[in-house]
Amino acid sequence: MIIANYIRPWAKGWGTFAGFFSRDDLGERRQIDMAETVDRTRNTTEMRRSAMDFPRRLDRARNLSDLAEIGKRAVEAAMGRSHQWVAGDTMEDALHVAREVNARGLDALINHLGEHHRDKAPVEATSQEYVRLLAAMRSNGIRGGVSLKPTQFGLLLGREYALSQILPVLDEAKKDGRTVWLDMESVPTTDDAIWICERLLERHDQVGICLQANLKRTSGDLERLLRAGARIRLVKGAYKESPDVALQSRAEIDRAYLAHLETLFTRARDFAVATHDDRMVARTLELAKAHPTPFDFAMLQGVRDPLERELIGKGQRVEKYISYGPKWLPYFSRRLREWPRDILVMVRSFVGG
């Protein structure tokens, strides 16, 4: 097949790509915890099998649809998607992981994957999905809240429309006092996301929003949102932004993160520290000794589970960010765009060695 012949040279490098994820000489040898070794080994074995079988399946591809499916399966195998960083395609998959998370003493923060909707039909379907999700969390006794992306709710169609689609989710969350979190997206959406957060806070005091330490505007946004009474989830930032709006070096971003962290401990009523970085965790624990402000650690599914257990053992609150749905690729791509040391944490948690 002509298309297969065109792609085959790339396929020869697939084994090398998979090998990157499965070898143990990844450079930086910090003492990073390795959890669920058997499951990680199983995922690595499946990935290697996929790598070896990829050229053979490529030969059998008959059309573009076949090639797309082969590519999708190959990427899933490389990511270790099953049982790793995404719960699965369905709500029940997410609830299953949430039950396990709750049993380990963590709260669940569930996100239905999807973003940048420009038509009303998928937006309204998303709103209904979150309402059903919250009802299912209630009936299943799941502890935790939900986290959603404004562009998933039609922000690109207008912020008033997006707010109207989020309000049914907020009303459902209010029934049992759950927090509704807004994930922060790229810079062009930031002002509208903050506006939506402020409108939601007028109806429910358990509303949170993610702020990105890499953005130069975050200090001002943090002051504004603290005055409004929002909960803050502090992250380093996973979106690629230009130097005029965002810090570019890891050292600068780390300094900004630590500065915002101190502001949260002295000014916030409750917040979340979203990090897998040992230095940020250590500084958080130091600040917690000096300030009684309640907070959570927030961590991604499939990353540094032993650290979570250690923190729970120390009496810390930890919440697990659990994503589900078929639209997983943009989410994972942002993880890979994060700085090399953060990628290293994720890769090594995957290979278990």
Q: Where are the beta strands (DSSP E) in 158-227?
A: 180-182, 207-212
Full-model pTM: 0.76
Per-residue confidence at 69, pLDDT binned at 50, 70, 90?
Answer: low
| Mean pLDDT within 239-254 | 96
SS3 content of the chain, % helix, strand, coil (to 5): 60, 10, 30
Q: Where are the beta strands (DSSP E) in the chain?
A: 107-112, 144-148, 180-182, 207-212, 231-235, 271-274, 295-300, 318-324
Dihedral Cα 192, 194, 199, 204, nearest 10 deg:
140
Please enumerate in sequence order all residues whose Cβ is within 8 A of that of 135, keeping only pairs 6 or more positions apart, or say none: 172
Q: Is 299 helix (H, G, I), strand (E, B) or coil?
A: strand
Q: Which of 233, 283, 304, 348 is catalytic?
A: 233
Predicted pLDDT at 75: 55
Contact 193, 182 (CB under 8 A): yes
Contact 264, 218 (CB under 8 A): no
Tell me the pLDDT tens digit for each residue of 212-237: 999 999 999 999 999 999 999 999 99
Q: What is the mean pLDDT of the chain?
A: 81
CATH code given to domain 91-351 = 3.20.20.220
pLDDT over 90 (residue 292): yes
Tell me the pLDDT tens digit for each residue of 76-119: 555 444 446 799 999 999 999 999 999 999 999 999 999 999 99
Predicted pLDDT at 38: 36
| Mean pLDDT within 133-154 | 98
Question: Residue holding tokens 């997206």?
Answer: 185
Question: Residue holding tokens 């998979």?
Answer: 18
pLDDT over 90 (residue 238): no
Measure Cα distances from 114 to 102, 229, 234, 312 in Å. 25, 27, 21, 31
pLDDT over 60 (residue 153): yes
233 annotated active-site:
yes
pLDDT over 90 (residue 208): yes
Q: Which strand (E) or helix (H) includes residue 336? A: helix 329-337
Predicted pLDDT at 22: 30
Would you kindly state where each structural domain of the chain is located, as residue ranges?
2-23+33-79, 91-351
339 closest CA partner among 244, 240, 245: 240
pLDDT over 70 (residue 350): no
Predicted pLDDT at 334: 57
Q: Which of 40, 178, 183, 231 is catalytic?
A: 183
147 closest CA partner among 119, 178, 186, 102: 178
Predicted pLDDT at 19: 32
227 annotated active-site:
no
Predicted pLDDT at 205: 95
Predicted pLDDT at 41: 41
Residue 303 CA to residue 276 CA, distance in Å, equals 8
Instruction: State residue 136 phi and psi, 5-degree precision.
Output: -70, -35
Contact 299, 108 (CB under 8 A): no
Per-residue confidence at 35, pLDDT binned at 50, 70, 90?
Answer: very low
Tell me the pLDDT tens digit for each residue of 298-322: 999 988 889 999 999 999 999 999 9
Share of the chain above pLDDT 90, in %: 66
